Chain A
Amino acid sequence: MEYFIQQLINGITLGGLYALIALGYTMVYGVIQLINFAHGEFFAAGGYVGVIVLSYLAGNGHLETHPFLCLAASFALTMVYCAFLAMGVEKVAYKPLRLQSRLAVLLSALGMSIFLQNALMLTQGVYDKAYPSELFQGGLEFGDVTVSYLQIMMVGMTVVLLVGLNLLVFKTKIGMAMRATAQDKIMSSLVSISANRIISLTFAIGAGLAAAAGIMVGLYYGSVRYDMGFLPGIKAFAAAVLGGIGNITGAMLGGLIIGMIEIFGAGYISGQYKDVFAFIILISVLYFKPTGIMGENIDDTRV
């Protein structure tokens, strides 16, 4: 039983990360029907900005005196940076192609992904960058089950971000504008909603969430590397598809499911097939329900 609970906790932590990244895919798809393959790179960039900010603060000794302030500052800075990065990428690589075929934009997204990954490699080097380890040492012990403070922080932060996003999309005017744009760009522009601004905003929010996931991965696993965006990007994309691409709740659910399956597959069967299990579930769900678990709604829940 302890074994099961321990694996459950591992699964929730990993699933939360996938959910945060998956949201970016699903929101962008909801608004402009584009699979943004460069999204994983925003996550990696977030991990790097986080390590740069935190190392700087740790070097000046602030991390020891005000750990929570430093953490909040690094999250804020990183999310803002990645939001601007994503808006820039959208302006440069996607906006000029908006009236072209969807394939053109897709290729542009792939190109952007390669460009950003190599830019990270050339500027930050090929070596792993270690995160300061002073934060969140230790954890809680319940018999044989260990829950580290880091895991608690990550799950807490993920919940806060997900609830915040839901409030933003479903309870505010901006969220209403986003949903309107997702439904019908022409109609929404007739009621003076600027599609360009909404698209920029969608990219910014998605990248901000991915950036937060990037810092958490860095803190949790202890280091970041330039190619860290690729695999989680693919898994999160799978999660978004599993949940029903275009659907926010679906992406959260999909992320959790993929994370759980990976951990339980590795924990109860064998570690070498963990990616296989995740994708088997993805394929079987899509076989019976091609629109994903939550389906692609056409009503106002889609963003």
Chain B
Amino acid sequence: MMRSKTWKLLMLGLILVPFVFGTASAKTLKIGSMSPLTGPYASDGTDIKNGVLTAIEVFEAAGGMPGYDKIELFPQDTACDPKQAVASANKLINLEVVGVIGAYCSSSTIPSSVTLNEEEIPMLTPASTNEAVTDRGLPYMFRLCGRDDDQAPAAAKFLKEYLKAKTIFIVDDKTTYSQGLADGVAKSAKEMGMEVVEHDHVNQGDKDFAAVLTKAKAANADVFYMSLQGYSPGALMTLQAKRLGLESQIVTQDAMFQPKFMDVAKEASEGIYLTYGFTDTSTPEYKSFEDLYVPKYGPIAAYATYAYDAATVLLKAIKAAGSTDPDKIKAEIMKMDFDGVAKRIKFNEKGDSGSSYIAYKIENGKFVPFWSPVKGLLQK
């Protein structure tokens, strides 16, 4: 009896330790991030987390947040799973964070933003491009990246005007993002008079695409439009397409904007086009981000810059508002107008910050800005 009582007391003591020390510790500003840290999109999710960490580092080096001793990030793993995303959102609510950067997959951002908005916690997504993210009128939802209903017409215009394509074979892997974008491209392409010979689907997590690629080879369309959720299946599909001798021009989208795409697909990735928001890599903002990020986390990938900008917007807004009141933060966010690392940041009433999609070409293992829907060819 005695022993079990001692144990209980000891356990109780241990449970109480964090509370005792928690109240005594320094005043901390808590922000959350949500992105897939495990599973097939773990690399993109880790980039987002690293981008936010870099933003905090820069902000603290520049003087930090008045009234707070430090800023702490609580990175949550959504695994690109809607259920886990909502659970992460609830966890962040319990942690009493003042704002959230995330999520990555549109299918995670959409349900979790409802949960966060109910608690009036601002959410800034660096990567979810599906239209519905900001079209539902949630007051505390902001988006740093572009929208798919801008990306799809830009892609279709590129196919029509530059590649002079007549027939297109489309493949997606059935996520909110990839299928939404594929449907958008199919719709825009039809409106512009191109023919979609087939629109097939694969499953998330597939490694073997031989069957669908053989089909595409037999169809022999001018363009093979690949809409997949991450760079990893994209690289596999590209490699297998080249090996199988697919002659159609491969065109893909923003999820492939990841240097690791070329690490895996190697020579097979040469000459592929993809649409992605234009980022001027010669600005001082980009250069200083690069100097900080690259030595610590490696090459800059798709959404690290957007995550950095999202966190910067949030921190600047809190500083300018001088409070963590959500409405004051929102008012400050709406006032923002500055050059971020990824692009110029200014939000409209929906919470969007505009799209700037252009086509990139992969040349010598690098993403090269190639064609703009406004200016046409960017090189030469």
Point out residues on A near B: beta carbons under 8 Å. 2-3, 6-7, 10, 13-14, 121, 126-128, 130, 133, 139, 141, 144, 146, 148, 150, 217, 221-223, 225, 227-228, 231-232, 262-267, 270-272, 274-275
B215 x A267 contact (CB < 8 A): yes
Q: A146-B244, A270-B201, A272-B203 given as contacts; is B211 within 8 A of A130 (CB)?
A: no
**Chain B interface extent, by class:** 35 or more
A10 x B39 contact (CB < 8 A): no
Query: B261-272 interface mask toward A, CB cutoff 8 Å, 1 = contact, 0 = none?
Result: 001111100000
Q: How far is the CB of A145 from chain B (nearest CB, A)?
A: 10
Among A6, A263, A265, the one with the most B-chain Cβ atoms within 10 Å of its Cβ is A6
Set of chain A residues within 8 Å of B260, measured between Cβ atoms: 127-128
Give the distance in Å from the alpha carbon of A213 to the alpha carbon of B239 in the complex: 19
| Cβ-neighbour of A139 out of B201, B205, B217, B243 (below 8 A) | B243
| Cβ-neighbour of A3 out of B202, B218, B264 (below 8 A) | B218
B243 x A10 contact (CB < 8 A): no
Q: How far is the CB of A297 from chain B (nearest CB, A)?
A: 32
Q: A128-B232, A130-B264, A146-B244 given as contacts; is B214 within 8 A of A271 (CB)?
A: no
Q: A133-B266, A146-B244, A272-B201 given as contacts; is B210 within 8 A of A10 (CB)?
A: yes
| Cβ-neighbour of A221 out of B42, B203, B212, B240 (below 8 A) | B240
A-B contact pairs, 9 of them (CB 8 A): A10-B211, A126-B37, A127-B260, A146-B243, A217-B207, A262-B211, A271-B200, A272-B200, A274-B202
B235 CB within 8 Å of chain A: yes
Q: How far is the CB of A137 from chain B (nearest CB, A)?
A: 9
B39 x A227 contact (CB < 8 A): yes
Set of chain B residues within 8 Å of A144, measured between Cβ atoms: 217-218
B165 CB within 8 Å of chain A: no
B151 CB within 8 Å of chain A: no
Task: With CB as the reference atom, state the residue of chain B lying closest to A4.
Answer: B214
Task: With CB as the reference atom, state the residue of chain A lying closest to B245.
Answer: A146
Give the distance in Å from the alpha carbon of A232 to the alpha carbon of B40 in the complex: 15
Set of chain B residues within 8 Å of A133, measured between Cβ atoms: 266-267
A128 x B211 contact (CB < 8 A): no
Interface residues of B in 221-277 (CB under 8 A from A): 232, 235-236, 239-240, 243-245, 260, 263-267
B43 x A128 contact (CB < 8 A): yes
Give the distance in Å from the alpha carbon of A126 to the alpha carbon of B79 in the complex: 12
A128 x B235 contact (CB < 8 A): yes
Set of chain B residues within 8 Å of A265, measured between Cβ atoms: 211
Q: A146-B244, A222-B235 given as contacts; is B266 within 8 A of A3 (CB)?
A: no
Q: A128-B43, A146-B244, A267-B214 given as contacts; is B208 within 8 A of A222 (CB)?
A: no
Task: With CB as the reference atom, state the residue of chain A lying closest to B231.
Answer: A128
For the residues of B in contact with A, the DSSP-based class is helix
B232 x A225 contact (CB < 8 A): yes
A14 x B208 contact (CB < 8 A): yes
Give the distance in Å from the alpha carbon of A7 to the alpha carbon of B203 in the complex: 18
Set of chain B residues within 8 Å of A275, measured between Cβ atoms: 203
Give the distance in Å from the alpha carbon of A144 to the alpha carbon of B201 in the complex: 23
B304 CB within 8 Å of chain A: no
Q: A221-B208, A225-B232 given as contacts; is B263 within 8 A of A130 (CB)?
A: yes
Set of chain B residues within 8 Å of A141, measured between Cβ atoms: 245
B328 CB within 8 Å of chain A: no
Give the distance in Å from the alpha carbon of A275 to the alpha carbon of B174 in the complex: 14
Task: With CB as the reference atom, state the residue of chain A lying closest to B45.
Answer: A126
Set of chain B residues within 8 Å of A266, measured between Cβ atoms: 202, 211-212, 215
Q: How far is the CB of B183 from chain A (nearest CB, A)?
A: 14
Q: How far is the CB of B223 from chain A (nearest CB, A)?
A: 18
A7 x B245 contact (CB < 8 A): no
| Cβ-neighbour of B42 out of A10, A126, A217, A228 (below 8 A) | A126
Give the distance in Å from the alpha carbon of A264 to the alpha carbon of B236 in the complex: 20
Q: How far is the CB of A115 from chain B (nearest CB, A)?
A: 15
Set of chain A residues within 8 Å of B43, measured between Cβ atoms: 126-128
B46 CB within 8 Å of chain A: yes
Give the distance in Å from the alpha carbon of A265 to the alpha carbon of B239 in the complex: 22
Set of chain A residues within 8 Å of B267, measured between Cβ atoms: 133
